A and B are shown apart, each in its own frame.
Chain A
Amino acid sequence: MHHALLLILLAEAAVLTVCVVFGVTHAVVSSLMRRREETAERELRPVLARWLTEGDPADGERLCRLPRSVLSRLLGGLVHQLDGPQRDRLVVLAVRTGLAGRAERLARSASWWRRLRGVRLLSVIGGDPDLLERSLVDPVAEIRMAAAEWAVVQPTDAVIDRLIEMLGDPHALPRYAVQDALLRLGGRILPRLTAFLEEEAAAAPGAERERLLEPALEVACAICDARMLKPALAVAGAPSPRVRARAAELLGALGGGDATAALTSLLDDGSAEVRRAAARSLGKLGHWPAAPALASRLRDPDFEVRRAAGLALRSLRGPGQVMLHRMVSDRDRFAADMARQVLELPEGSLKELTA
């Protein structure tokens, strides 16, 4: 027994010694490396600024001496803030220092974390479009996410189509990154997104279609172009309440006679989420002929719908306020209460509440 305990004790002492020795060595080495990198960065920052503004080849040569880790950090920090020739110079620097080539090699690696590193670097400096398309279908979610960011740098029609398809990605992270990428691409995706919405509006309903439509409508709502009206009207009758609600939001962003008519009919939808979205949209549009329909929604069994209807009426100003005053004496206690509360709202808080 004593012998066994002694052996365990020796093993513990060995583990402890290894930890301490490794820890001390790491601390010393990392401190020295950090100092070296900081010095190099401090010295070459003014050179980098000069290279970016003037493009003197001598400065470019000096910058090639920067450690790769520092260079990739500087690139990552600067590239999104630069545009035009300055950004191009930064990319040239990455190519000259071999960083771009290394990133492409990493992006083709069999190891997931090397691929991730490579794709992240390429999302900053750009690279082979085939590699981008391949990365967009990578089995690792994080890599698909990084590739979506890269797609913003090199958007082709094929890439945009792939991004739109990726809105139905089974993992939340790439879905999120794709939504962000599409939002950043803005008007550029408009023809492809409109075509996609039209196709989807005509397609047979199904879970897959709904999973794609919901985020696509959110993106459409943020981009907001009149060409999206037709598909928005079509999906306003989709079987999924969430899709209908997003369609109502899009219609509220687009406006126009057809949109307001559809929104007014959505006020009687079976789903509270859709009714709420419709009420908010009508309020945003300031569509005063909808005031009576909105007033009747103050009697809605759902609190959020009552609240949205009340706030929408308040933002309709004259006609809406008349309705609200009338509803204060309504027999429905909840409707009267909401009307009173909304009327008592200070003017300043309205914008915040209806946003």
Chain B
Amino acid sequence: MIGISAAIGAHGALGSALIDIGWVVLGYFVVVNGFYAVLLALAVVDMRRHRLTVRGAPLWRLLASEAAPSLSVLTPAHNEGRTVAASVRALLTLRYPDLEIVVVNDGSTDDTLEVLCREFDLVEIHNIFRRVIPTRPVRALFRSRINPNLVVVDKDNGGKADALNAGLNIATGDLVCAIDADTLIEGEALLRMVRPFVMDADVVAAGGTICVANSSLVCHGRVVDARVPSKWLSGVQVVEYMRAFLFGRLGWNRAGGNLIISGAFGLFRRAAMLDAGGYVHDSVGEDMELVADIRRRGLEHGGPARVVFVPDPVAWTEVPDHIGTLGRQRERWQRGLCDVLWRHRKLLFNPRYGALGMIVYPYFLFVELLAPVIEGVGLVSLAVAIALGEAGLGFAGLFLLLAYGLGLALTAFTLLMEQLSFDRYRRGADKLRLLLWALLEPVGYRQLTVLWRLRGLVRYLGRRTDWGAMSRRGFQAADEALLPGAGSSAA
């Protein structure tokens, strides 16, 4: 008898706890989505201003002026012998008046260096440069005879961060653009990206939009025909990337500045990067760490500290289309986020850092980092509440539908914004496919990302620091002979 009443009592206590959790989750849901709505509104305002400003602007003429800042593109290459020549050729054709390409051969064991020497007629030069950032030893420096703005650094293997740091020591541009070897940059992207640096001396870094290149046609290292993938996993990522960049990052331009610039395509003031000591070696989120560090230093020392997102310069990248690979990538991103937030914990609610400490950092902590925990707890407690009869199926269904609808409304707004401003996918079939992926993305895929992020959080707490294996399929070439990324490369 006592046991039954104890069980009933425990059941009642659990029920009330579940209800309390439900309210907390609901409150969190309202606050977060309210913030998303604010970000979206800010993104719309910023996009309108941006479009009105750049419409009819003779970019190519003004930014191709002698007065334009010099720019170095850094690209690390490790065992990229099959694709490196095409990638470098694509970089050499980027439109920018004072452009230097620095390719860092990070201890490749294949014929990467030989291919570069052969294709670009490299000649060894003496390595007179200031080693501002310590790196693994630089074996040799080369300059191309046929493209004197191409510099190749041959160094011992030290990983992506070390390779970028070596490139940073050697680069001579006022601005530095760090890209992944498998990133395809649009021809005018650099001209567009430089604009905020020319406009505002307080801008220290800028990021551009990353689009999904899976299924798009690629020719000479350029996406010549943008298409929406027909496969579910890469298709939903198109929608996800669009939402993340067009309203997530654009909105932050007016809400305290960005904390993230994609490692695949970002532009920085070289002096600020050197002051920050370049990329850290012991973090899986080295690109975010650099941005946070540069902003923090800028605010501490009164230097430039604005990090902006420019929506129109586009780089295309191949996203994982295998669920295991994607899971590892998202888990790594979450570990990187944890690491960066921990390293810069003194920013939290610190008025000295202005909006960075009072809005941006708390958002990344309470929304980006903890959202999967709250979302996970919410889903589990809802399931338990239904099982115990504490919540009706109708109510639970309505709540889930509401959450689904809200996410969908945000996505629909983003898609509309993309169409009104850039309209990259012009075929009717692609637009319909995009709509389909937008409808499907909140079901299944969103829950999977919650799981991966939770796993990342747990593994970060377990001190795991590896990158996880990544595999890529390669771009779909318009002309097989011009295929730039047919092989596989380690991310």
What separation, in Å, do the CA atoms of A12 and B56 have in the docked complex? 36
From known contacts A16-B412, A352-B143, infer whether A8 and B126 are also in contact, taking CB-CB under 8 Å: no
Complex Cα–Cα for A5 and B55 (A): 42
B420: chain A residues at CB < 8 Å are 26
Contact of B409 among A19, A120, A183, A346 (CB under 8 A): A19
B residues within 8 A CB of A8?
402, 405
Chain B residue contacts of A180, Cβ below 8 A: 62, 65-67
Pair B62/A345 contact, Cβ less than 8 Å: no
Q: Tell me, in angstroms, the Cα distance from A6 to B416 when the chains sit together.
A: 25
By beta carbon, the residue of chain B nearest A27 is B431
B421-439 toward A: CB 8 Å interface, digit per residue (1/0)? 0010010100100010000
A85 within 8 Å of B (CB atoms): no
By a CB distance below 8 angstroms, the chain B residues around A1 are 395
Selected from B145, B201, B402, the residue in CB contact (under 8 A) with A5 is B402
Chain A, 155-192, contact with B by CB distance < 8 Å: what is the 0/1 string?
A: 00000000000000001110011011001100000000
**Are A12's CB and B66's CB within 8 A?**
no
Q: Which of A297-355 contact B (CB under 8 A)?
A: 303-304, 307, 310, 338, 341-342, 344-346, 348-349, 352-353
The residue of chain A having its C-beta at the shortest distance from the C-beta of B195 within the complex is A173
A172-B53 contact given A19-B415, A307-B128, A344-B126, CB 8 Å threshold: no
Asked whether B125 is an interface residue with its Cβ less than 8 Å from the other chain, the reply is yes
Q: What is the minimal beta-carbon distance from B187 to any residue of chain A, in angstroms?
A: 16
Closest chain B residue to A12, Cβ basis: B405
B405–A345 touching, CB < 8 Å:
no
Residue of B nearest to A340 (CB): B126
How does the 8 Å CB contact mask read for A27-70 relative to B, with 1 for contact and 0 for none?
Answer: 10011000000000000000000000000000000000000000
A222 in complex: contacting residue of B66, B124, B145, B405, CB < 8 Å = B66
Interface residues of A, dominant DSSP: helix
Partner of A30 from B61, B398, B423 at Cβ < 8 Å: B423
Given A12-B409, A23-B415, A180-B67: A346 in contact with B199 (beta carbons within 8 A): no
1/0 per residue, CB under 8 A from B, across A91-118: the answer is 0000000000000000000000100110
Q: Are A27 and B409 in contact (CB under 8 A)?
A: no
Is B386 in contact with chain A by the CB < 8 A criterion? no
Tell me the residues in window 125-182 of chain A with beta carbons closer than 8 Å to chain B beta carbons: 141-142, 145-146, 149, 171-173, 176-177, 179-180
Contacts of B399 in A (CB 8 A): 5
B428 and A27 contact, CB distance less than 8 A: yes
A116, B402: Cβ atoms closer than 8 Å? no
A250 to B305, CA, bound (A): 32
Please determine whether A349 and B412 come into contact, CB atoms closer than 8 angstroms: no
Contact A16 B426 (CB under 8 A): no
CB interface residues, B 191-250, toward A, < 8 Å: 198-201
User: In the complex, are the beta carbons of B124 and A346 less than 8 A apart?
Assistant: yes
Determine if B140 is an interface residue (Cβ-Cβ < 8 Å).
Answer: no
- Judge whether B461 is part of the interface by a CB distance below 8 angstroms: no
* Total interface residues in chain A, CB < 8 Å: 56
- Whether A12 pairs with B406 at a CB distance below 8 angstroms is yes
Q: Give Cα A141 to B405, complex, Å.
A: 41
| A20 sits at the interface (CB 8 A) | yes
| A237 contacts partner chain B, Cβ-Cβ < 8 Å | no
A120-B56 in contact given A172-B201, A352-B143 (Cβ < 8 Å): yes
CB neighbours of B125 from chain A (8 A): 345-346, 348-349
Residues 67-83 of A contacting B (Cβ, < 8 Å): 72, 76, 80
CA distance A31 to B429 in the complex (A): 13
B27 cross-chain contacts in A, Cβ below 8 A: none
Q: How many residues of B contact A (CB 8 A)?
A: 45
Residues in B whose Cβ lies below 8 Å from that of A352: 143, 148
A344 and B245 CA atoms in complex are apart in Å by 48
Cβ of A142: which chain B residues have Cβ within 8 Å of it?
53
Cβ-based interface call for A9 (8 A): yes
**A353–B145 alpha-carbon span in the complex (Å):** 14
**CB-defined contacts of B53 to chain A, threshold 8 Å:** 113, 116, 142
Interface mask (B99-124 → A, CB under 8 Å = 1, otherwise 0): 00000000000000000000000011
Identity of the chain B residue whose Cβ is nearest the Cβ of A34 in the assembled complex: B426
Whole-angstrom CA separation of A352 from B147 in the bound complex: 11
Partner of B67, one of A20, A176, A303, A338: A176
A15 at the interface (CB under 8 A from B): yes
Task: Decide if A120 touches B57 in the complex (CB within 8 Å).
Answer: yes
**Residues of the A chain whose Cβ atoms lie less than 8 Å from the Cβ of B123:** 346, 348-349
Q: How far is the CB of A186 from chain B (nearest CB, A)?
A: 11
Determine whether the beta carbon of B67 is less than 8 Å from that of A9. Answer: no
- Distance in angstroms between the alpha carbons of A80 and B56 in the assembled complex: 14
Residues of A within 8 A of B419 (CB): 23, 26-27
Taking a contact as CB atoms under 8 Å apart, the answer to whether B415 and A9 are in contact is: no
Q: Report the minimum CB–CB distance from A245 to chain B (whole Å).
A: 15
Contact call B405/A172, Cβ cutoff below 8 A: no
Q: Say yes or no: is B413 at the interface (Cβ < 8 Å to chain A).
A: yes
- Contacts A149-B58, A172-B200 given; indicate if A19 touches B416 (C-beta within 8 A): yes
Q: Nearest-CB distance from A211 to chain B (Å)?
A: 12
Q: Answer whether residue B52 sits at the interface, using C-beta atoms and an 8 A cutoff.
A: yes
Which residues of A are found within 8 Å of B491, using beta-carbon distances?
A: none
Are A2's CB and B398's CB within 8 A?
yes
In the assembled complex, the Cα of A31 lies from the Cα of B57 at a distance in Å of: 23
Q: Does B408 contact A (CB under 8 A)?
A: yes
State how many angstroms separate the Cβ of B149 from the closest Cβ of chain A. 9
A13 touches B (CB below 8 Å): yes
Smallest CB-CB separation from A171: which chain B residue?
Answer: B199
The proximity string for B residues 7-46 relative to A, scoring 1 for CB distances below 8 Å and 0 otherwise, is 0000000000000000000000000000000000000000
- Compute how far the CA of A1 lies from the CA of B126 in the bound complex, rounded to whole angstroms: 74
Which residues from chain A contact B415 at a C-beta distance below 8 Å? Answer: 19, 23
Does residue B130 face the partner (Cβ distance < 8 Å to A)? yes
Asked if B393 is at the interface (CB within 8 A of a chain A CB), the reply is no
Are A31 and B426 in touch, CB under 8 angstroms? yes
Contact partners of A6 in chain B: CB under 8 A: 398
Interface membership of B401, Cβ < 8 A: yes
* In the complex, chain A residues whose CB is within 8 Å of the CB of B143: 348-349, 352
Q: Could you tell me if B198 and A9 are in contact, using CB atoms closer than 8 angstroms? A: no
Interface members, chain B 380-420 (any A CB < 8 Å): 394-395, 398-399, 401-402, 405-406, 408-409, 412-413, 415-416, 419-420
B409 close to A15 (CB less than 8 A): yes
What mask results when residues 59 to 71 of chain B are scored 1 for a CB within 8 Å of chain A, else 0?
Answer: 0011001110000
Chain A, Cβ-Cβ closest to B439? A16
**Minimal beta-carbon separation of B368 from chain A (angstroms):** 24
Which of B55, B58, B409, B428 sits near A80, CB closer than 8 Å? Answer: B58
Instruction: State the CA gap A326–B378 with chains docked (Å).
Output: 77
Subset of 26 A-B contacts with CB under 8 Å: A5-B395, A5-B398, A9-B401, A15-B409, A19-B412, A20-B435, A26-B416, A76-B56, A117-B55, A121-B56, A171-B200, A172-B199, A176-B62, A176-B67, A183-B67, A222-B66, A341-B126, A342-B126, A346-B123, A346-B124, A346-B125, A348-B123, A348-B143, A349-B126, A352-B148, A353-B128
Query: Which 3 pairs of residues, A with B, have the shortest CB-CB distance?
Result: A12-B405, A19-B412, A180-B65
Starting from the known contacts A183-B66, A349-B126, A349-B143, 11 additional A-B residue pairs (CB-CB under 8 Å) come to: A9-B402, A12-B405, A20-B412, A31-B426, A72-B56, A76-B58, A172-B198, A172-B199, A172-B201, A342-B126, A348-B145
